[in-house]
Amino acid sequence: MISLSNLTKSFGNFDAVKSISLAVPEGAFLVLVGPSGCGKSTMLRMLAGLEKPSRGTISFGDKTVSDGERGWTIEPAKRDTGLVFQSYALWPHMTVAGNVEWPLTVARMAAFERKARVTEVLSLLGIDALADRYPNEISGGQQQRVAIARMIAPKPKVLLFDEPLSNLDAKLRVEMRTELLRVHRATGATSIYVTHDQVEAMTMASHVAVLKDGEVEQFGAPGDLVAQPRTAFVATFVGTPPANLIPASPHGSKMILAGEPMVATFSLEGPALAMFRPEDLTVYDKPGPRSIAMEFAEASPVAGRMMVTGTRDDLRLTAVVDEAPKFYPGDPVYFSLPEAPAALFSLKGERLA
């Protein structure tokens, strides 16, 4: 089990990570996801032991590995973790096999054992043919595999990944996702994975922590985050496509949604944000009841359905429908809302109902 309690990291007056507490069981695949600058990489570096926490503790199992209060942390190498860097950090003067072998040499593994382990991990990642090449002679995807092989060779109990797929093209990224999950299963280690891409989080994680401004917005299983977002930020950050948020305010017997007065089908005490899922919206080329006029922006086929997006000022609505009329950019498009929103959030983003 990995647990963080009140983990805080400050750089000068700036708190990059603000009192975060969470715990995942052994063998979990935890994804830390959030926009850039949310503190996710700093958290990972603290887990790796490369940074000391300012306050709070990190424990692996029942062993405390970092203690911010006492300003004390176990060295990176002694905490049984491996890290894949965003840049891969392959040592350019060593061959692929050399890169994988060096950590084992430092750990004083016997030579014959070392060779066997190198061969084993290289073939686990399907790169045994590249053993004698140098990092600058292989492709980005292959470099990625070498970085993973190098990490798992000493059999760490905790695998850390810092945005490892962000330098790969779209197709490779999908392949490497599968590959990483396979490695995770094969090693049985606990994995912690940092990304800004919610799709990666949703597809790979057993546990997801959505971070914003150094704080955890929500922590849970991927399905729960989409089904029960706890904040407006999470609602619009996860899911493919993410949910729509429409400003709503009661006005006498009417309810004003995105500036359009409508029959009130739900009650509100004051202005709020109403969440509607894309699959609950429909689109028309003429105004209708409970419809919001938007300007057509884009449409794309998605798994046999149509995803249609319209914009108006700052508002952006996405609907996933079975069939849609043919629109051209700039055409008016009318998004028709269901009677009840899937959730309501205060203007500050807290969940109301």
Partner 1 sequence: MANMTPLAERLRYAIPQGLSLKIGVLLAVGALIAGPLLRILSETLAPQTIAAWSDVVLSPLSRNLLWVPLSNTLVLGIGVAGGCVLIGGFLAWLVVMTDVPFRRTIGLLATLPFMIPSFATALAWSSLFRNSRVGGQTGFLEALGLAVPDWLSWGMVPTFIVLTAHYYSLAFTVIAAALATVNSDLVEAAQMTGAKRGRIFAGIILPVALPAIVSGASLSFAGAVSNFAAPALLGLPVRMQTMATRLFGMIEIGQTARGYVIAILLIVVSAFFLWFGNKVISGRQSYATITGKGGRAKRFELGPVRLPLLAIGMTICALTTIVPVVVLIASSLAPSSSALFSNWTLHYWLGTSNPSIAHGQAGVLHNPFIVSATATTVSLGLVVAITGSILGLMVAFTLARYRTGLVSGVINQIAFLPLLVPGIAFGAAYIALFGAPIGPFPALYGTFTLLVIAGTAYLVPFSVQTGRAVIQQVSGDLEESARLTGAGFFRRLSAITMPLASRGLAAGAIIIFVKIMRDLSLVVLLFTPTTPVLSVLAYRYASEGFTQFANAITVVILVISIAATLLANRLQTKSQPWLKN
Residues lying near partner 1 in the complex (CB under 8 A) are found at 48, 50, 75-78, 81-83, 85-93, 102-103, 106-107, 134-136, 150, 154, 162-163, 166-167
Nearer to partner 1, 165 or 273 (CB): 165
- Least distance (Å) from partner 1 to the CB of residue 205? 21
Nearer to partner 1, 193 or 335 (CB): 193
Nearer to partner 1, 48 or 308 (CB): 48
- Please list the residues that pair with 262 across neighbouring strands: 255
Of 238, 290, 236, nearest to 261 by C-alpha is: 290
Two structure tokens written together for 116: 């066997």
What is the end-to-end Cα distance of the chain in Å, rounded? 33
Enumerate residues 6+ apart whose C-beta is below 8 A from 170. Answer: none
Nearer to partner 1, 81 or 244 (CB): 81
- Least distance (Å) from partner 1 to the CB of residue 114? 13
- Least distance (Å) from partner 1 to the CB of residue 152? 12
| DSSP codes of every residue in 151-204 | HHTT--SEEEEESTTTTS-HHHHHHHHHHHHHHHHHH--EEEEEES-HHHHHHH
Q: Distance of alpha carbon 179 from its chain centroid, rounded?
A: 17
Residue type, 303: A
- Least distance (Å) from partner 1 to the CB of residue 343? 36
217 touches 230 (CB < 8 A): yes
Nearer to partner 1, 136 or 300 (CB): 136
Distance of alpha carbon 102 from alpha carbon 91, whole angstroms: 10
- Least distance (Å) from partner 1 to the CB of residue 83? 5
Nearer to partner 1, 62 or 75 (CB): 75
- Least distance (Å) from partner 1 to the CB of residue 301? 32
- Helix, strand counts (H, E) of the chain: 8, 21
Nearer to partner 1, 48 or 273 (CB): 48
- Cβ neighbours around 279 below 10 Å, total: 15
- Least distance (Å) from partner 1 to the CB of residue 150? 8
